[in-house]
Amino acid sequence: MREYLKFYIDGHWVEPAELRTLEVINPATEAVCGHIALGSATDVDRAVAAAGEAFKSFSRTSRRERLELLQRIVVELEKRHEDMARAITEEMGAPVWLAQRAQARMGAAHFSTAIEVLKRYEFEERRGATIIVKEPIGVCGFITPWNWPLNQMACKIAPALATGCAMVLKPSEIAPFSGIVLAEALEAAGTPPGVFNLVNGDGPTVGAAISSHPGVSMVSFTGSTRAGVEVAKNAAPTVKRICQELGGKSPNILLEDADMKAAVTAGVNAVMLNSGQSCNAPTRMLAPRKRMEEVIGFARSAAEATTVGDPNGNAQMGPVVSEAQWNKVQGLIQKGLEEGASLVAGGLGKPEGLEKGYYVKPTVFANVTNDMTIAREEIFGPVLSILAYDRVADAIEIANDTEYGLSAYVSGADPARLMETASRLRAGQVQLNSAPMDLMAPFGGYKMSGNGREWGDHAFAEFLETKAIIGVAP
């Protein structure tokens, strides 16, 4: 049983202003696996004050000092890799293989990426008698989700430290253990007191206090579009910068010349990864109508081959994160059935033999039209919708017919056709033929999928202000 009843503020683990606790539920067992303290506006005030004071000196550190700090953090994260993986499996149900190979690896990966960017990043540019300077923005507030917890914390903290900012983090209260392990690693690495602060709590209390705080210069939020709108409203009166990575309903266009078995299998596997709880999951598969029968067959085979079970075993897929999430996914599967989509695999209820735990059947619908609820709403579960198209122009129109624009996917054999299709998709990232992840590629969305960009050198811009110094002597 994990008991995390303190916050990390100004380099110390401190008691909350008023002790209120929350049970953390293991989604694989539905049992309480720990408790955290819930913070208040008072705790946020204390953390922001510490960050503001630390910023005065940390913002003036040299490139070399910040590189050395980031390098020490990578070392500490590698030391704590197994601890981090166990925490992630316990708090949000990621299978051990996924927690170890991907979830827990993302921390050191983002800090290593920040190191490479910082080595060559230009903070000054001279234009005649004017010098344009990029300076750290100030105290940053981070509000992060439960689905890829370490990834979302690290991709904010790493560039913020690299650019000289101080920060206050609120991890998800649903999956808070990984945030504590990260804070311990940052402390062990010698992060100066006050530069990094952690306050646990819920969105309406701690999240709102961070996003509205006049001492916070920017807020980076990852989560649902609904919650992102609230963060923006809270931030508006203080005119702070907002960077948001929000929801998605990503299209996956299979061109007619694609290796259909490989493309469909890869698409289904990408949806089922992490139990479908990825904002960039390719949940709308657009396939040529004339090849629909074989596409459905390949999708059925891939879904039925996906094993579901105890995340501490060998299953490919564990549970979804909570009872509330399970109920939401079940409601949307029911909606798909009611609106006339054809159930290809999976469906309502829990997989056989898994009565305990928030497990969902790997589900595939065919004969989906883009006006159906399952094609419009972000389900955030292992549910794929297959839609038919007649011409590539129709596929592009369907793909763009969404309020979201985070990611898109295209598979095909002709490089020119791939590029032409990608160029017409309104999304922040377009992945061709299941290309591997690129941590240097900017990550973020169009439309209601957010604003701003994370990862690589584009992330640095979110944490910098631009100053023009005019009339500089030669």
Closest to 173 in 3D by CA, of 141, 140, 203:
203
pTM above 0.85, yes or no: yes
By the 10 Å C-beta count (0-12 exposed, 13-18 middle, 19+ buried), 293 is classed as: exposed
Q: Which tokens sit at 394?
A: 């129709």
Choosing from 245, 378, 454, 462, the catalytic residue is 245
Choosing from 243, 279, 454, 462, the catalytic residue is 279
Per-residue confidence of the chain (474 residues) as pLDDT tens digits? 999 999 999 999 999 999 999 999 999 999 999 999 999 999 999 999 999 999 999 999 999 999 999 999 999 999 999 999 999 999 999 999 999 999 999 999 999 999 999 999 999 999 999 999 999 999 999 999 999 999 999 999 999 999 999 999 999 999 999 999 999 999 999 999 999 999 999 999 999 999 999 999 999 999 999 999 999 999 999 999 999 999 999 999 999 999 999 999 999 999 999 999 999 999 999 999 999 999 999 999 999 999 999 999 999 999 999 999 999 999 999 999 999 999 999 999 999 999 999 999 999 999 999 999 999 999 999 999 999 999 999 999 999 999 999 999 999 999 999 999 999 999 999 999 999 999 999 999 999 999 999 999 999 999 999 999 999 998
Q: Which CATH class is domain 251-437?
A: alpha beta
Active site residue 279: yes
Residues linked to residue 469 through DSSP beta bridges, in sequence order: 131
Question: For 248, phi and psi rounded to 5 degrees?
Answer: -155, 155
Concatenated DSSP letters of 1-33: -EEE--EEETTEEE--SS--EEEEEETTTTEEE
- Sequence spans of domains, the chain: 2-246+449-470, 251-437
State how far the Cα of 350 lies from the Cα of 346, in Å rounded to an integer: 9
* 2-246+449-470 carries CATH number 3.40.605.10: yes
Active site residue 339: no
Q: Among positive and negative, which fits the CA dihedral 304, 306, 311, 313?
A: positive
Pairing of strands 241-245, 450-451: antiparallel
